[in-house]
Amino acid sequence: MDDLSKSDMKFFSDQQHCFADILLPHEVQARIQVVVLNFLKILSSPDPAISDLPLINRKSSNSRVSEGILTDVSWIFLSHSFCSRSLMKANATKAFIRVWKVMEMCFEILIQDKRVTQRELFYKLLCDSPHYFSSQLQVNRTIQDVVALLRCSRYSLGIMASRKGLVAGRILLQEPNQEAVDCSACGSSGYAISGDLNLLESLSTKTDARYIVVVEKHAIFQRLAEDNVFNQIPSILLTAKGYPDIATRFLLHRMSRAFPDLPILALVDWNPARLAILSTYKFGSIGMGLEAYRYACNVKWLGLRGDDLQLIPQQSLAPLKPRDLQIARSLISSTILRDNYRQELAVMMQSGQGAEIEALYFNGYDYLVKYLAKKIVQANYI
Partner 1 sequence: MDISSVQKLCIHLISSAVQRCRLSEGLCRLSVVLKSSPPIIRVSISDTGTGSCLEEFQDLKCNREGIGTEKWDGLLSIKTTSISDNKIYHYHLNLRGSVSARRLTRLPSIPKNDAKFSGTEVCLSISETIDALLKDIKHYFQKMLILKIPSVAAELVIERGDASGLRCENVFLPNESSPLNFSSSNVERLKSGLEEYVLKHRNSLNNKCDSCFCSREKLKISSGVASSMESHRSPGLIVEAVIAISELSESLCFRSSGNKTEVLHFKDFSPSSVSIASLNALTSIDWRSYGLTLVSAVDQVDHALIEWESLPPYLHIDMVIHCYHKQYPGKYKYQPDRHLIKKGVKLALDDLKEKHTGLLLSAHAVKICSYAPDLASSIAGIILSSNDLKFRSKCSTLLELSQSQAIGKQTVEDRIKEKIISVIETNDRKPEKIKEAAPFLFEDDRPQDLDPADLYLEEHAGGDNVFSFPD
Residues of this chain, 79-138, that bind partner 1 according to CB under 8 A = 80-97, 100-101, 103-104, 107-108, 111, 129, 131-132, 137
Q: Which of 237, 276, 355, 372 binds partner 1 (CB under 8 A)?
A: 276
Cβ proximity to partner 1, 222 vs 279, nearer residue: 279
Q: Which of 9, 13, 22, 39 binds partner 1 (CB under 8 A)?
A: 39
Helix (H) / strand (E) element for 226: namely helix 218-226
Cβ proximity to partner 1, 76 vs 265, nearer residue: 76
Q: Which residues pair with 78 in a beta bridge?
A: 18, 63
3-state secondary structure of 172: strand
- Set 123, 211, 295, 381: catalytic member: 123
Cβ proximity to partner 1, 128 vs 201, nearer residue: 128
Residues 369 and 232: beta-carbon distance below 8 Å: yes
Near partner 1 by CB under 8 A, which window of 43-51, 205-213, 258-266, 340-348? 43-51
**Within positions 203 to 242, which residues make up the interface with partner 1, using CB under 8 A?**
none
Size of the site for partner 1 (CB under 8 A): 81
- For the chain, what's the residue count? 382
Cβ proximity to partner 1, 218 vs 375, nearer residue: 218
Strand boundaries in the chain, DSSP class E: 53-56, 63-66, 75-78, 82-85, 116-117, 159-160, 166-169, 171-174, 180-182, 191-192, 204-207, 211-215, 235-239, 264-267, 299-303, 318-319, 353-354
- The 8-class DSSP code of residue 304 comes to S
Near partner 1 by CB under 8 A, which window of 4-12, 26-34, 356-364, 369-377? 26-34
**Within positions 167 to 206, which residues make up the interface with partner 1, using CB under 8 A?**
none
Residues 158 and 106: beta-carbon distance below 8 Å: yes
Strands 264-267 and 211-215: parallel
123 is an active site residue: yes
For the bound state, the minimum distance from the C-beta of residue 295 to partner 1, rounded and expressed in Å, comes to 11
Q: Which of 287, 313, 319, 364 binds partner 1 (CB under 8 A)?
A: 287
Q: Measured between alpha carbons, how far is 374 from 361 in angstroms, rounded to an integer? A: 15
Cβ proximity to partner 1, 224 vs 251, nearer residue: 251
Rg (CA), the chain: 23
Q: Counting contacts by CB under 8 A, is residue 43 touching partner 1? A: yes
Q: Which of 10, 59, 119, 370 binds partner 1 (CB under 8 A)?
A: 59
Helix (H) / strand (E) element for 265: namely strand 264-267
3-state secondary structure of 289: helix
Q: Which of 19, 23, 58, 197 binds partner 1 (CB under 8 A)?
A: 58
Q: Measured between alpha carbons, how far is 36 from 42 in angstroms, rounded to an integer? A: 10
Q: Counting contacts by CB under 8 A, is residue 44 touching partner 1? A: yes
Q: Counting contacts by CB under 8 A, is residue 57 touching partner 1? A: yes
The Cα angle at residue 80 between residues 78 and 85, in degrees rounded to 5: 100
Q: Measured between alpha carbons, how far is 165 from 295 in angstroms, rounded to an integer? A: 15
**Within positions 143 to 162, which residues make up the interface with partner 1, using CB under 8 A?**
144, 161-162
Q: Measured between alpha carbons, how far is 377 from 373 in angstroms, rounded to an integer? A: 6
Q: Which of 158, 281, 285, 357 binds partner 1 (CB under 8 A)?
A: 285
Q: Counting contacts by CB under 8 A, is residue 14 touching partner 1? A: no
Cβ proximity to partner 1, 52 vs 182, nearer residue: 52
DSSP code per residue over 329-355 = HHHHH-TTS-HHHHHHHHHHHHHTEEB
**Within positions 326 to 365, which residues make up the interface with partner 1, using CB under 8 A?**
326-327, 330-331, 334
Cβ proximity to partner 1, 169 vs 195, nearer residue: 195
For the bound state, the minimum distance from the C-beta of residue 43 to partner 1, rounded and expressed in Å, comes to 5
Task: Name the residues annotated as catalytic.
Answer: 123
